């Protein structure tokens, strides 16, 4: 899709949502612009969504008046203002939600409708590679292991500098030097050193990989894989700080759709549409992100129409908003999963039969219905269903008798004692731990709960040391890299430094390694299926749900997007 | 008096040194590796090592302390491990918000606590005593964060009498910072609309804290004043024919020292007590800042809070002691 077509599409969508263009006219023009049937249907259903009834319309008008949510401004309430948007140094959720607004990447996911939520557009990760779209890169081609990207010409940064291949090179040099969060996925994708990124000419850059390109290309869509304006960043560098690490976290070196207007840490971040963006002005002129730490207050604020978008509400809070005409609760498919991870280094969890017994002891429906109040979906694999290569493979159901029988078979008919660790900073973790503790008691497994704050919890998850780790760990992991090899290599391979359950399975290692070297997509997916089947048999993780991505919006917001774990602010339609 | 104040100020130096030592080492007793939290779950051993070096965590602990002390002596509280921002700037931004909240709270607590305490002492066994008894039970049992949420629910959500719990002032106002107290800065800027916005945003958080913290002042006033009113010298004063107001003034002056002490202690408690209230009302103050710092294992930010809180408390106790000496001449003569 050309630059002009992009702009035209955005304007057209804007017009139909505002009612300036009839549905018939929209369909005709959308077809000319090459919009897919799915996208057309989704946008039209968003037009006839929550504000369809007179009551909802009145409430919507009232909400609009209360927030002033016109096409000028959207107010979003987060639990914390982003700490920054440095792709290498700024971690945490809030930072992820800001990174993609301020900074763009070379490619992006095509958005498609989802059957789970009318009016929502989600990243079409399942149809990789067809669903990768040009963004800052106009096109790319592969020559063996080298992948050459032609950059879009005339892309201007917020500071007024044109993007060139030097910016891409500098961004990756920085990432490799700082060894921050950003470089992990690229290196897992086979980009091993800065010298493998080469400037061919002013608008052409190449990447030489040591692996087939799937992980790397998908990784180009994550927030951290953005391009920085090196000219602007270098103005803030010093001899001691050549990569502007002090400035960049809250400085603006972006080519993204929104520029930073002001940042008051702990209070408010204000972003404004960057009208010189290659896609033209953003759907909203201004985004205001307010820090509202209390989820009860975020609930109240969106209900009263004081804010337009809130996140991180508890399931019972989301439930209270359902059915209200002035608020919509969105439940988007994502890469978020829930697990009880059993550590192989803790007997008897080194026994596969024992792990299988635990999987049969988990009350899956209770977790989805009572803990998640129906906002989670049953897990049908250890991997998210949105991943390419996903296979319906999770075979465990809640069956106490089966669990007891397996324990007896393994020689633990009288049960045993164990620990369950959870992150006490996360609201649902304790509840999830208690549910498991209660269920395990029914099969004579006596579990002691260990609530840990974030730092020791993370240490427990990532440690291979029995003194710092616990036998069972509650995990609610968000996975934004939709690749089965990446998933397996990071989480299940015996040589991975992550491998939370300290799995040591040569058979599983072999499948994962073979997948990483496989270039044929069909064979790769087949290997992914084998991996999922084996992980299911080994029962390392009792996978209770796909926990999805929830947010609540005022009725002025008619459409949202989702990108596995974030990106829902990218294309809000009002 | 000048010698007394000078001696106390001199003591501040070793006290502050002790506080830095305690803050530094106790914070490092927090479990978990903060570098891992900053580097994230995908941190390879190399990435983790790089993060630890950036934060200075790879150095021996005494060397870390020495570097920290050198910084603090130069007035540098270090940089937040999360935001990268100078903590001194964060303190300058956030502390006035907290100070405004707790100072106004204290003023209201004193007016209500002393006023009601005097009334109760003058009319023992009356209806005020029964009401205060129930209030005392509730104030002791109800957590302030819950009470704050209840106030938000009734007065914002149901009745719409007060603004949303989203900060100190309506975001449409831009007020030049002079003192950091919005109630003062808005008046200095001559912006009455902004002033009323700041005041209306203060009502619910102040009410939350006043509900919890007035009780001690009220009780202390009532008890000590009652004692004075029952004492021999007051009996003598009445017998000599002094008016009720004059007798009350004598009794009150003698009852004040312990009341002033309790007020001072409460002022210090408020600094900690405001933490949860700031979170509820998204106040953007120092308390909210330190909660995030604790959750993120941002050691330097936590240490800065301990240091600032300790300095604040030491200063408050000094002021309390000076006031006590002004009220009570016997203390001025004490060695």
| pLDDT tens track for A465-475 | 888 899 999 99
CA distance B63 to chain A (A): 21
In this structure, are strands A120-123 and A111-113 parallel, antiparallel, or unpaired? antiparallel
- pLDDT confidence of residue A2: 41
CA distance A190 to chain B (A): 15
Does residue A457 contact residue A449 with C-beta atoms inside 8 Å?
A: no
Cross-chain residue pair A184–B44, CB shorter than 8 Å: yes
With a pLDDT cut of 70, the percent of chain A lying above it is: 85
- pLDDT confidence of residue A375: 94
For residues A25 and A482, which has the higher predicted lDDT (pLDDT)?
A482
Cross-chain residue pair B157–A303, CB shorter than 8 Å: yes
CA distance A184 to chain B (A): 7
Asked whether residue A134 carries a pLDDT value surpassing 90, the answer given is yes
Tokens at A27, concatenated: 């369909």
Tokens at A149, concatenated: 């990207």
What one-character DSSP code corresponds to residue B179? S
CA distance B203 to chain A (A): 16
- pLDDT confidence of residue A67: 45
Burial of B6 (0-12, 13-18, 19+ CB in 10 A): exposed
Asked whether residue A25 carries a pLDDT value surpassing 70, the answer given is no
CA distance A207 to chain B (A): 22
Cross-chain residue pair B164–A291, CB shorter than 8 Å: no
Does residue A194 contact residue A177 with C-beta atoms inside 8 Å?
A: yes
Cross-chain residue pair B280–A294, CB shorter than 8 Å: yes
- pLDDT confidence of residue A13: 59
Chain B CB contacts of A307 below 8 Å: 166
d(CA A88, CA A448): 38
Per the listing, tokens 């164990």 go with A418
CA distance A198 to chain B (A): 23
Identity of the residue in B41, B45, B296 whose CB atom sits nearest the CB atom of A461: B41
In this structure, are strands A336-342 and A472-478 parallel, antiparallel, or unpaired? antiparallel
Does residue B94 contact residue A266 with C-beta atoms inside 8 Å?
A: yes
> Average pLDDT of A197-202?
97
Best A68, A79, A82, A91 member to test B by mutation, with max B CBs in 10 Å, is A91
SS3 category, A93: helix
In this complex, is the C-beta atom of A293 within 8 Å of any C-beta atom belonging to chain B?
yes
Asked whether residue A15 carries a pLDDT value surpassing 80, the answer given is no
For residues A313 and A478, which has the higher predicted lDDT (pLDDT)?
A313
Cross-chain residue pair A294–B46, CB shorter than 8 Å: no
ipTM field: 0.84
> Which has the closest alpha carbon to A207: A134, A150, A156?
A150
State the average pLDDT for chain A.
86
Cα distances from B65 to residues B20, B77, B300, in angstroms, run 9, 12, 11
pTM: predicted TM-score of the whole model, two decimal places = 0.83
Identity of the residue in A77, A185, A455 whose CB atom sits nearest the CB atom of B36: A455
Q: Taking the CA atoms of chain B, what radius of gyration do you get in angstroms?
A: 24
Residue A152 confidence class, pLDDT cut points 50, 70, 90 = very high
Residue A51 confidence class, pLDDT cut points 50, 70, 90 = very low
Chain A CB contacts of B276 below 8 Å: none
> Which has the closest alpha carbon to A216: A182, A193, A173, A187?
A187
In this complex, is the C-beta atom of A73 within 8 Å of any C-beta atom belonging to chain B?
no
Q: Which residue of B has its CA nearest to A185?
A: B42
Asked whether residue A66 carries a pLDDT value surpassing 50, the answer given is no
Strands (E) located in A333-407: 336-342
Cross-chain residue pair A267–B167, CB shorter than 8 Å: yes
Q: What are phi and psi of A92, to 5 degrees?
A: 75, 160
For residues A530 and A64, which has the higher predicted lDDT (pLDDT)?
A530
CA distance A439 to chain B (A): 29
Asked whether residue A482 carries a pLDDT value surpassing 80, the answer given is yes
Chain A CB contacts of B93 below 8 Å: 264-265
Asked whether residue A303 carries a pLDDT value surpassing 60, the answer given is yes
SS3 category, A165: helix
Chain A CB contacts of B47 below 8 Å: 179-181, 183-184
| pLDDT tens track for A107-128 | 999 988 777 788 788 888 888 8
> Which has the closest alpha carbon to A122: A226, A38, A218, A37?
A38
| pLDDT tens track for A486-526 | 999 999 999 998 899 999 999 999 999 999 999 999 999 99
CA distance B37 to chain A (A): 6
d(CA B37, CA B84): 15
Cross-chain residue pair B282–A291, CB shorter than 8 Å: yes
d(CA B242, CA B249): 11
Cross-chain residue pair A292–B282, CB shorter than 8 Å: yes
> Which has the closest alpha carbon to A370: A437, A423, A424, A435?
A435
SS3 category, A566: coil
Best A67, A268, A269, A458 member to test B by mutation, with max B CBs in 10 Å, is A458
d(CA A79, CA A286): 20
Does residue A398 contact residue A363 with C-beta atoms inside 8 Å?
A: yes
pLDDT string in tens for chain B (335-residue length): 788 788 777 877 788 888 888 888 888 888 878 888 777 777 778 778 877 887 888 888 888 888 888 888 888 888 887 777 789 988 998 999 999 999 999 999 999 999 999 988 888 777 877 888 788 778 778 888 899 999 999 999 999 999 999 999 998 888 899 999 999 999 999 999 999 999 999 999 999 999 989 988 999 999 999 899 888 888 888 889 888 888 888 888 888 889 999 999 999 999 988 988 999 999 999 998 898 888 888 888 999 999 999 989 988 998 998 888 888 877 766 54
Alpha-helical runs (H) found in B123-243: 127-141, 144-151, 182-188, 192-229, 232-239
Cross-chain residue pair B157–A83, CB shorter than 8 Å: no
| pLDDT tens track for A231-276 | 999 999 999 999 998 899 889 999 999 999 998 888 889 999 999 9
Tokens at B108, concatenated: 């209201």
Q: How many helices (H) and strands (E) are present in chain A, helices listed first?
A: 19, 21
Residue A55 confidence class, pLDDT cut points 50, 70, 90 = very low
Strands laid side by side in the A541-546 sheet: A445-452, A416-423, A472-478, A336-342, A541-546
- pLDDT confidence of residue A4: 42
In this complex, is the C-beta atom of A250 within 8 Å of any C-beta atom belonging to chain B?
yes
d(CA A394, CA A535): 9
| pLDDT tens track for A351-364 | 999 999 999 999 99
Chain B CB contacts of A180 below 8 Å: 39, 47, 50
d(CA A118, CA B280): 34
Chain B CB contacts of A457 below 8 Å: 32
Cross-chain residue pair B279–A293, CB shorter than 8 Å: yes
- pLDDT confidence of residue A229: 97
- Chains A, B: CB contacts within 8 A come to 139
CA distance B28 to chain A (A): 12
Identity of the residue in A179, A185, A265 whose CB atom sits nearest the CB atom of B85: A265
> Which has the closest alpha carbon to A290: A80, A149, A110?
A80
Strands (E) located in A97-203: 107-109, 111-113, 120-123, 132-134, 137-143, 146-151, 197-201
Cross-chain residue pair A290–B166, CB shorter than 8 Å: yes
d(CA A223, CA A240): 27
> Average pLDDT of A55-73?
45
> Average pLDDT of A434-455?
95
The C-alpha torsion from B210 through B213 and B215 to B221, rounded to 10°, is: -100
Strands laid side by side in the A120-123 sheet: A111-113, A120-123, A560-562
Does residue A215 contact residue A517 with C-beta atoms inside 8 Å?
A: no
Chain A CB contacts of B37 below 8 Å: 454-455, 458
Asked whether residue A31 carries a pLDDT value surpassing 80, the answer given is no
């Amino acid at each position: 899709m050309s630059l002009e077509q992009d702009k035209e599409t955005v304007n057209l969508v804007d017009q139909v949502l505002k009612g300036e263009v009839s549905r018939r006219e929209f369909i005709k023009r959308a077809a000319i612009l090459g919009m897919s049937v799915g996208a057309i249907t989704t946008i039209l259903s968003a037009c006839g969504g929550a504000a369809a009834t007179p009551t909802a319309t009145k409430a919507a008008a009232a909400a609009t008046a209360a927030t002033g949510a016109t096409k000028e401004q959207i107010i979003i309430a987060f639990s914390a203002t982003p700490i920054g948007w440095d792709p290498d140094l700024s971690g945490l959720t809030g930072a992820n939600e800001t990174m993609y607004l301020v900074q763009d990447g070379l490619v992006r996911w095509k958005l498609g409708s989802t059957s789970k939520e009318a009016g929502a557009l989600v990243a079409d990760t399942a149809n990789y590679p067809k669903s990768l779209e040009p963004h800052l890169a106009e096109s790319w081609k592969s020559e063996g292991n080298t992948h050459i990207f032609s950059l879009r010409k005339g892309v201007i940064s917020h500071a007024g500098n044109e993007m060139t291949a030097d910016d891409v090179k500098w961004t990756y040099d920085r990432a490799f030097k700082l060894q921050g969060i950003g470089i992990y996925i690229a290196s897992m994708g086979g980009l091993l050193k800065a010298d493998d990124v080469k400037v061919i000419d002013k608008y052409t850059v190449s990447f030489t990989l040591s692996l087939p390109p799937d992980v790397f290309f998908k990784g180009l869509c994550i927030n951290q894989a953005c391009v920085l304006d090196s000219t602007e960043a270098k103005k803030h560098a010093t001899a001691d700080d050549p990569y502007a690490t002090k400035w960049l976290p809250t400085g603006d070196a972006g080519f993204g759709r929104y520029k930073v207007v002001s940042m008051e840490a702990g209070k408010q971040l204000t972003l404004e549409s960057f009208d010189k963006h290659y896609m033209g002005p953003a759907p909203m002129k201004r985004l205001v992100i307010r820090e509202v730490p209390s989820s009860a207050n975020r609930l109240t604020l969106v209900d009263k129409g004081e804010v337009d978008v809130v996140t991180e509400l508890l399931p019972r809070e989301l439930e209270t908003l359902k059915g209200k005409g002035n608020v919509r609760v969105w439940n988007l498919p994502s890469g978020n999963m829930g697990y009880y991870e059993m550590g192989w280094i803790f007997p008897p969890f080194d026994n596969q039969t024992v792990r299988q017994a635990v999987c049969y002891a988990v009350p899956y429906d209770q977790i989805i219905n009572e803990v998640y109040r129906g906002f989670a979906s049953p897990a049908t694999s250890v991997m998210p269903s949105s991943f390419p290569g996903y296979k319906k493979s999770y075979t465990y159901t809640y069956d106490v008798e089966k669990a007891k029988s397996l324990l007896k078979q393994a020689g633990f008919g009288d049960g045993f004692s164990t620990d369950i660790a959870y992150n006490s900073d996360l609201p649902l973790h304790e509840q999830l731990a208690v549910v498991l503790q209660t269920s395990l008691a029914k099969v004579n497994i006596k579990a002691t709960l260990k609530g840990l704050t974030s730092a020791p919890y993370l240490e427990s998850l990532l440690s291979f040391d029995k003194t710092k780790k616990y036998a069972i760990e509650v995990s609610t992991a968000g996975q934004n890299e939709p690749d089965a090899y990446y998933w397996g290599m990071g989480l299940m391979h015996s040589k991975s430094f992550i491998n939370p359950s300290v799995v040591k399975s040569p058979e599983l290692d072999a499948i994962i390694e073979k997948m990483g070297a496989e270039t044929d997509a069909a064979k790769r997916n087949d290997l992914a299926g084998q991996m999922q089947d084996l992980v299911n048999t080994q029962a390392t993780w009792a996978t209770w749900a796909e926990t999805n991505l929830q947010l609540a919006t005022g009725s002025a917001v008619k459409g949202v997007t989702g990108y596995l774990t974030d990106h829902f602010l990218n294309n809000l339609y009002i | 008096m000048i010698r007394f104040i000078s001696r106390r100020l001199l003591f501040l130096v070793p006290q502050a040194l002790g506080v830095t030592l305690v803050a530094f080492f106790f914070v490092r007793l927090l479990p978990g590796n903060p570098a891992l939290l900053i580097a994230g779950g995908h941190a390879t051993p190399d990435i983790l090592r790089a993060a630890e070096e950036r934060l200075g965590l790879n150095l021996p602990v005494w060397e870390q302390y020495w570097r920290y002390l050198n910084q603090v002596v130069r007035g540098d509280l270090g940089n937040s491990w999360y935001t990268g921002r100078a903590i001194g700037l964060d303190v300058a931004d956030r502390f006035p918000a907290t100070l405004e909240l707790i100072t106004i709270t204290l003023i209201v607590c004193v007016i209500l606590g002393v006023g009601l305490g005097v009334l109760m002492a003058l009319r023992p066994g009356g209806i005020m005593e029964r009401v205060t008894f129930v209030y005392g039970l509730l104030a002791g049992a109800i957590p302030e964060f819950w009470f704050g949420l209840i106030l938000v629910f009734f007065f914002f959500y149901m009745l719409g009498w007060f603004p949303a719990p989203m900060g100190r002032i309506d975001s449409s106002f831009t007020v030049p910072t002079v003192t950091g107290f919005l109630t003062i800065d808005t008046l200095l800027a001559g912006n009455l609309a902004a002033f009323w916005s700041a005041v209306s945003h203060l009502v619910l958080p102040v009410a939350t804290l006043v509900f919890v913290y007035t009780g001690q002042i009220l009780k202390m006033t009532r008890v000590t004043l009652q004692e004075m009113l029952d004492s021999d010298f007051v009996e003598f004063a009445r017998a000599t024919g002094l008016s009720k107001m004059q007798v009350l003034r004598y009794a009150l002056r003698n009852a004040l020292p312990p009341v002033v002490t309790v007020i001072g202690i409460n002022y210090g408690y408020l600094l900690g007590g405001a933490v949860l209230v700031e979170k509820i009302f998204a106040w953007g103050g120092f308390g909210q800042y330190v909660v995030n710092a604790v959750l993120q294992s941002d050691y330097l930010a936590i240490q800065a809070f301990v240091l600032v809180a300790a300095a604040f408390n030491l200063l408050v106790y000094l002021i309390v002691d000076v006031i006590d000496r002004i009220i009570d001449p016997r203390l001025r003569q004490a060695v």
